[in-house]
Structure 1
Amino acid sequence: MIGPEIERLIQLLAKLPGLGPRSARRAALQLMKRRETLMVPLSEALAHAAEAIRTCPVCGNLDTRSPCTVCADPTRDRSTICVVEDAGDLWALERTRSYRGVYHVLGGVLSALQGVGPDDLTIAALAERAKDPAVTEVILALNATVDGQTTAHVVTDRLAGAEVAVSRLAHGVPVGGELDYLDDGTLTAALKARRPF
């Protein structure tokens, strides 16, 4: 029904998060309908990005600069390091414009099922960075999953030699959230992390 080039395009699009086979077919169809205005510029942008993107040697962020834009910014507060699972989490925190420190990307979380151990992550590099006397706090901004919490405990253990405060993001009721829609774990975390009003 369709040529192998189009089938390959659909298969590759379907590998993107949030796109299943049906959504990938719709996206491919839109790209083909708008070849000159969308498909060609997109393919050029992808090719250029594939060559230009680098992993920051300091924090592990993905950027076209080395060191990355965050690490190269002289106005950042280098006394706090925010630890995240991947670059997507770093970008999400940057969108809030509420954190002015630096980051450390672990490159994943510990997972016995997926065979990811401490040596597969950049925990050792984080421990080295935390030894810098200028660093006073490490913020663990890891997902509130079993693997995320396990990773947080291992990171905390590895930071024991550094003289830094270790904190984590608060968990609980989101802004605008309604209690009857929240799961039991979120409500429990919110109750335990309550604070004066």
Structure 2
Amino acid sequence: MRATTAVMALSRTPRVRPLPAGERLRTAQPHCVSRRSVQIMPSPIGPEIERLIQLLARLPGLGPRSARRAALTLIKKKEQLLVPLADATRVTAERVLVCTSCGNIDTADPCTICCDARRDPTLLVVVEDVADLWALERAGVINARYHVLGGVISALDGIRPEDLNLDRLVARAAEPGLTEIVLALNATVDGQTTAHYITDLLSSYPVKITRLAHGVPVGGELDYLDEGTLAAAIRQRTTF
């Protein structure tokens, strides 16, 4: 009896008619939007302002968001910042020069440092970049002339010795009166590789080659220093 009732219930169940292929596709994708219906909205920023933002974003330490904020600040303070900055960049672009003697950046050739008669002519400090030269000048710890290499030897970056300002360094090492060359290069693998290369390159010249001391920085705590810095500090310890 129960089996008969179940068969009768199944026979009364309405059959679902399959939909055509096109109709099934429309039913399965109710949210699909035709490409023709998508409209590209115009940029709310003018092309001149957009170019300013893109150029600012190329600066070190500035991303797209920071560049937009900087551009907005410049625009809001047009007379105080934007106009003077535009004038300064224009004048700098017209007058900036690379010193043919040392590689420094200035508005004169030779640069101001090379022309300063108060500099110690017996001392020459070799740096990787102009930023390092500026850092030493801000510290005011040495009154010497400089030589900017324009980089360091790096196999990873494809920088070879002939890509650096080494020919001029060799010529300066032969100048009379020079007694010491200080290699003020970064304590990195590439920096130390370059320092060793320069030492070998100038080994036949009657000048003393020195380098910056490595060790515990002023105000530094031993617990926060790496093993390499601690080892250098122990090796280069001095009398107290």
TM normalised by structure 2 equals 0.79
Secondary structure in structure 2 of the residue aligned to 1:161: coil
Map 1:57-76 to 2 at 5 A: 57-76=100-119
Secondary structure in structure 1 of the residue aligned to 2:121: strand
Higher Rg of the two aligned structures: 2
User: For residue 72 of structure 2, what is the aligned residue in structure 1?
Assistant: 29
User: For residue 161 of structure 2, what is the aligned residue in structure 1?
Assistant: 118
Secondary structure in structure 2 of the residue aligned to 1:191: helix
Offset of 1:17 from its aligned partner?
1.7
Does the alignment pair 1:12 with 2:55? yes
Q: Distance in 1 between matches of 2:229 and 2:54?
A: 36
Equivalent of 2:152 in 109, 112, 118: 109
Alignment deviations for residues 132-182 of structure 1 (CA, whole Å, 9 cap, x no partner) = 121100000000011100110111111112110000001111111122222
Offset of 1:88 from its aligned partner?
0.9
User: For residue 85 of structure 2, what is the aligned residue in structure 1?
Assistant: 42
Q: Distance in 2 between matches of 1:84 and 1:107?
A: 8
Offset of 1:64 from its aligned partner?
0.7
User: For residue 172 of structure 1, what is the aligned residue in structure 2?
Assistant: 215
Offset of 1:73 from its aligned partner?
0.5
Q: How many residue pairs were aligned? A: 197
Q: Distance in 2 between matches of 1:29 and 1:189?
A: 47
CA contact (8 A) 1:123 1:158 kept: no
User: For residue 170 of structure 2, what is the aligned residue in structure 1?
Assistant: 127
Cα RMSD for the two superposed structures: 1.2
**1:129 maps to amino acid:** R
Q: Distance in 2 between matches of 1:134 and 1:87?
A: 24
Q: Percent identity?
A: 62
Q: Distance in 2 between matches of 1:90 and 1:142?
A: 11
Does the alignment pair 1:185 with 2:208? no
Secondary structure in structure 1 of the residue aligned to 2:232: helix
Offset of 1:100 from its aligned partner?
1.0
- Structure 2: runs of 5 or more not aligned: 1-43
CA contact (8 A) 1:140 1:166 kept: yes
Alignment deviations for residues 73-125 of structure 1 (CA, whole Å, 9 cap, x no partner) = 11111111100011111111111222111110001111111111000001121
Q: Distance in 1 between matches of 2:90 and 2:222?
A: 46
Secondary structure in structure 1 of the residue aligned to 2:141: coil
**1:118 maps to amino acid:** P
User: Whose RCO is larger (CA < 8 A, sep 6+)?
Assistant: 1
- Structure 1: runs of 5 or more not aligned: none
Secondary structure in structure 1 of the residue aligned to 2:202: helix
Q: Cα 1:180–1:6, aligned 2, differ >3 Å: closer, same or farther?
A: farther
